[in-house]
Amino acid sequence: MKYFFQFGILGALALVLALCGCRSLSQGKITAYRGLLIREDLLDDNSYNRKYKYGNAMPKVEYITIHNTANDASARVERAYLNRRRDNVHLSYHFAVDEKEAIQILPYDINGWHAGDGNGKGNRASIGVEICRSLCDGKDEQLYRRSEENGVKLAAYLLRRLKLPVSALRKHQDWSGKNCPHRILTEKRWESFKQRVRKAMQ
């Protein structure tokens, strides 16, 4: 009960600081940056995930790679779906972010399988960020817009944490030619996305 109470206090403190717009706070498995809660919830450590989802050691991160999920699911649903996949495909990424929060799914020092370039630098030297809700439109359009704004904050946080410049941002398309992040590409907003990240880093 004592540990539950302590976690509740820490979680509440992170939430209050996030809502107040404080720059950053790290405490345990919760981080707040510019109003975005970043919660660690790593994939289960089992033989299947170690084979198909947890990659190799990644001692140096050089890039942050931005994706769109191409569905309307939340970050929590994305993490749960990835965790239970059993299709013998190497597929994983480090973060999923939606209109409410970002969830860390892989450690920083392990590569994911998200860039489609095999053992190239997209997979082996970049952090994969999935921006959720990209198929939301109509009355749910704001879910995607808020998710993308949180994606901007997450990218800024990661660049600052890893001491990388904005020029280290990459699109999935840069590594494998895939039309991803599809919303940002279709709407021709990649350069403005980077400008927003630069501003969020200040």
Tens-place pLDDT, residues 4-28: 233 344 444 444 434 433 333 333 3
The structure tokens listed for 97 are 């972010």
How high is the pLDDT of residue 17? 38
CB 84 within 8 A of CB 20: no
Report if residue 57 sits inside a domain. Answer: yes
21: in domain: no
pLDDT above 90 covers what percent of the chain?
85
Please report whether residue 117 resides in a domain: yes
What residue type is 180 in one-letter code? C
The domain in which residue 124 lies consists of 34-201
Domain membership of residue 97 (yes or no) is yes
CA distance 202 to 100: 22
Tell the burial category of 89 from Cβ atoms under 10 Å away from its Cβ (0-12, 13-18, 19+). Answer: exposed
Q: What would the mean pLDDT of 179-194 be, rounded to a whole number?
A: 98
Q: What is the token pair recorded at 8?
A: 């509740």
Burial string for 184-197 (b: 16+ CB within 10 Å, else e) reads bbeeeebeebbebb
* Residue 43, domain member (yes or no): yes
Chain-centre distance for alpha carbon 77: 13
Question: Is residue 187 included in any domain, yes or no?
Answer: yes
Q: Please name the residues in contact with 83: beta carbons below 8 A apart, sequence gap of 6 or more.
A: 43, 44, 49
Tens digit of each residue's pLDDT (9 = 90 or more) over 36-68: 999 999 999 999 999 999 999 999 999 999 999
Task: Give a yes or no: residue 1 inside a domain.
Answer: no
Mean pLDDT across 134-163: 97
**What is the rounded average pLDDT of the residues 117-127?**
98
Give the per-residue SS3 of 88-128: CCCCCCCEEECCCEEEECCCCCECCCCCCCCCCHHHHCEEE
For 35, residues 6+ apart whose C-beta sits below 8 A from its C-beta are 18, 19, 21, 153
The answer to the question of residue 45 being in a domain is: yes
Handedness of CA 70, 163, 62, 167 (dihedral sign): positive
Question: How many domains does the chain fold into?
Answer: 1
User: What CATH number is associated with residue 142?
Assistant: 3.40.80.10
